[in-house]
Structures are given as structure tokens and as C-alpha cells.
Amino acid sequence: MKKIYLVALGLFATVSFAQVKVGGTPTVNPNAMLEIEATNKGVLLPRVELVTTDVATPLAAHVQGMTVYNTASTPAANTAAARNRVEPGFYYNDGTKWNQMITTDNKAVKFFYMPSITFDTSVSANGVSKDLYAAYKAQFESPVEASAGAPMNGIPFFKSPTDLYYYITDYDPAVFSNITINANGVMTYDVTAAATDCSLINIVFVVK
């Protein structure tokens, strides 16, 4: 009985730590614990109904690396919990909350306006630069005021300038010209005249 028990234990250990291949050739990529090979099938992840991004439900707890497809849309955009609302799509868990994966379908609504910043137009100049990302990060990191109960340790922001696309949607051509923006959000421009009470420049950030 003892010998049979030891053999069974050894076989169990081998199976538990073996790499797994589903479909295709029997060779498994050496870097993969699980490899699925198919030309006409996909991987179907669990479809669940999330409540809000800050609540683990229907899981018992937040688990870093967990990935699901959410089928729910809650809560309504005009509720107090709208900041943590969810919509149908893929979500991954970072250990503290759910984060939506950006896809082509939802990219269109993932944009926001550049926070208000100053442009000195008192003197005409060529090749002036403004780091749009740095200005946005500075304001989101250190808000000067917040509503009752809101944390004052900063507003969540994108950690890298290359997480965003940068656009100018409108500007006063009598004041600005030769505007360009590099991939890191640094805007270069010429000042051709002083701004008036009606001058404007409108900057939009889009999530990649």
C-alpha cells in the first residue's frame, strides 16, 4: 500500500506542474503555462455582472490579474456613484478595483478637455513650447479644493504622456500659428499677436 501511494503522489505532482496545450500541435511554448492553438475558435472568458469598479462583486474579493467580461451597465450616469460606473466590456482587476480595457468600440467616449492653463501672448514670439501633459498632471496631482468627503491626495491621472493623444480642436488664428504637438504632449507654437477678450484655444486629450 505504501508503494502505490508514493507512485500516485509522484504522478499527481507531475500533472499539477505540467504545461498545458489545447488544440494544434503538441508542442507548448516554453514561456506559457497554458497555450491554446486554433484557427476558427476563440477563448470565452467568464461573463459576469459587475456592480461598480470599486466593488469586487460578484467575486468575493478583489484579485489582482482577474479578467472578466462585464455584461452590466450600472449605475446611471447621473447618480452619486457615477464615478465608479461600469458598462459592458472587458475588465481586469488590479487588486483594489476593476479597470476597463480600452477597445475600439468605447474609445470614442474616452476623452476629456485639457485643464485651464495660461498662455502668455503679451509678446510676439516664435517656437514657444508648452508641456500640456505636465500641466495636466500637476493640476490633477494637487487639486486646490474638493467637495465634502472627496480625498485631497490627488485625482487619478494617466501616468505616462504616451497614454494619450493630444488635439487642438479650435484656436484664434490671429494669436497662434504654426502649432504642433509631439507624442509626449509638448506643444510648440508661434505667438503672432496679443490675445483679446474673445481669443481662445481648445485642447482635448483622447485615451489611446
Instruction: Single out the residue of 84, 51, 34, 44 nearest to residue 68, CA to CA.
Output: 44
pLDDT band of 30, cuts 50, 70, 90: confident
pLDDT band of 11, cuts 50, 70, 90: very low
Question: Mean pLDDT over all residues of the chain?
Answer: 84
* Residue 185 scores a pLDDT above 90: yes
Report which of residues 15 and 203 the model is more confident about: 203
* Residue 69 scores a pLDDT above 70: yes
* Residue 147 scores a pLDDT above 80: yes
Instruction: Single out the residue of 139, 114, 120 nearest to residue 203, CA to CA.
Output: 114
pLDDT at 75: 62
Cβ count near 50 (within 10 Å): 27
* Residue 35 scores a pLDDT above 90: no
- Predicted model pTM: 0.54
Residue 23, C-alpha cell as written in the block: 488544440
pLDDT at 105: 55
pLDDT at 106: 54
pLDDT at 17: 58
pLDDT band of 48, cuts 50, 70, 90: very high
Q: Average pLDDT of 119-135? A: 96
Measured CA to CA in angstroms, residue 186 lies from 45, 89, 157 at distances of 40, 32, 17
**Of 9-18, 70-79, 122-131, which range is least confident?**
9-18
Q: At residue 3, what are phi and psi to the nearest 5 degrees?
A: -65, -40
